[in-house]
């Protein structure tokens, strides 16, 4: 049994396939497994809470894991250790989520492209057809993650409290979410995965795109992301497209294309869930 995992900070999708890429069971979903913000005990608990994963753990021969927070050696090694403790007979490979986005969005294995992730968090890399290059090391959701779900959640909460929302939008936002200050602070400062908590608010924007306020909010975030991340690759952008993966990117395609036209880069493919494109990549040589 081969497990292919695409993990963000909010959720993790697990595919169990045989060596020919045939599904062995329905997609398994667990909470997000970000080793940059979760302890080894918490990671272990989340994985083993899945009945399917726990019951089949000794049958697993390979685990190919792509996740948020796996861009540093320490975080990657922490997760590798946890996975090896659970899937005792398996070969384990842990890579950052950007690589999954690359394999899922490029048109052929040797295509060069700038590849962005806009999900709970955000990231941007250049793939030269063989090697992944990153010019900005992520410092996490507190300092970076422009145009991500948690970025937009933070902006929405701030605008609500600073009275920057139009009244009709503010009423709708307050009706949908618990905006009690103590409740918000409890989730941000006393609960695990505050970035995932913030990202839960982002869906609101896409349900209220009839408002000039939300469209401006979306585009301002994308402009910031493009300025800080995409434009790190000015020379490469002259000859390669920019592909996007993740739910925020998928639902903001129109706004991304408009910002791309403003800033002079070419938009390529959009992939909401990269995991489906990873099966043939990992099973062709087993």
DSSP string, 67-90: ETT-SSHHHHHHHHHHHHHHSTT-
pTM summary value: 0.80
Q: Which domain holds residue 17?
A: 2-99+275-283
Task: Please name the residues in contact with 251: beta carbons below 8 A apart, sequence gap of 6 or more.
Answer: 206
CA-to-CA distance for 260 and 112, rounded, in angstroms? 18
Mean pLDDT, rounded, for 250-255: 97
CA-to-CA distance for 25 and 44, rounded, in angstroms? 22
The structural domain count of the chain equals: 1
For 191-249, write each residue's pLDDT tens digit: 988 999 999 999 999 999 999 999 999 999 999 999 999 999 999 999 999 999 999 99
Query: Above 90 in pLDDT, residue 286?
Result: no
Three-state secondary-structure class, residue 139: coil
The answer to the question of residue 244 being in a domain is: no
The answer to the question of residue 106 being in a domain is: no
Measured distance between the N- and C-terminal CA atoms of the chain, rounded to whole angstroms: 11
The answer to the question of residue 128 being in a domain is: no
The answer to the question of residue 54 being in a domain is: yes
The answer to the question of residue 191 being in a domain is: no
The answer to the question of residue 67 being in a domain is: yes
Task: Please name the residues in contact with 144: beta carbons below 8 A apart, sequence gap of 6 or more.
Answer: 122, 136, 138, 228
Q: Residue 79 maps to which CATH number?
A: 3.30.420.40
Task: Please name the residues in contact with 126: beta carbons below 8 A apart, sequence gap of 6 or more.
Answer: 112, 113, 114, 115, 132, 133, 134, 135, 233, 236, 240
Query: Above 80 in pLDDT, residue 16?
Result: yes
The answer to the question of residue 150 being in a domain is: no
Task: Decide if 43 contacts 35 (C-beta within 8 A).
Answer: yes
**Mean of pLDDT over the chain:** 94
Query: Above 90 in pLDDT, residue 284?
Result: no
The answer to the question of residue 87 being in a domain is: yes
Task: Decide if 124 contacts 115 (C-beta within 8 A).
Answer: yes
């Amino acid at each position: 049994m081969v497990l292919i995992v695409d993990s963000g900070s909010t959720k993790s999708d697990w595919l169990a396939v045989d060596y020919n890429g045939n599904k062995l069971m329905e997609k398994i979903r667990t909470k997000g497994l970000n080793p940059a913000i979760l302890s080894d005990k918490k990671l272990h608990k989340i994985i083993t809470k899945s009945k399917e994963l726990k019951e089949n753990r000794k049958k697993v021969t390979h685990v190919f894991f792509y996740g948020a927070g796996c861009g540093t050696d320490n975080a990657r090694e922490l997760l590798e250790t946890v996975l090896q403790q659970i899937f005792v007979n398996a070969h384990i490979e842990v890579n950052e989520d950007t690589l999954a986005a690359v394999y899922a969005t490029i048109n052929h294995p040797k295509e060069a492209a700038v590849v962005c992730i806009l999900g709970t968090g955000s990231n941007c890399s250049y793939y030269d057809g063989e090697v992944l290059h990153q010019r900005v090391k992520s410092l996490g959701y507190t300092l970076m993650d422009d145009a991500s779900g948690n970025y937009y959640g933070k902006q929405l909460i701030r605008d609500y409290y600073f009275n920057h929302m139009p009244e009709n939008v503010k009423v709708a936002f307050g009706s949908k979410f618990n905006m009690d200050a103590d409740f918000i602070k409890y989730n941000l400062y006393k609960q695990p995965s505050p970035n995932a908590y913030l990202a839960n608010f982002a869906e609101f924007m896409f349900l209220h795109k009839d408002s000039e306020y939300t469209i401006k909010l979306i585009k301002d975030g994308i402009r910031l992301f493009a300025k800080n991340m995409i434009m790190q690759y000015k020379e490469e952008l002259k000859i390669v497209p920019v592909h996007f993966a993740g739910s925020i990117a998928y639902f903001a395609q129109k706004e991304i294309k408009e910002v791309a036209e403003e800033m002079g880069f070419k938009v390529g493919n959009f992939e909401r869930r990269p995991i489906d494109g990873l099966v043939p990549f990992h099973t062709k040589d087993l």
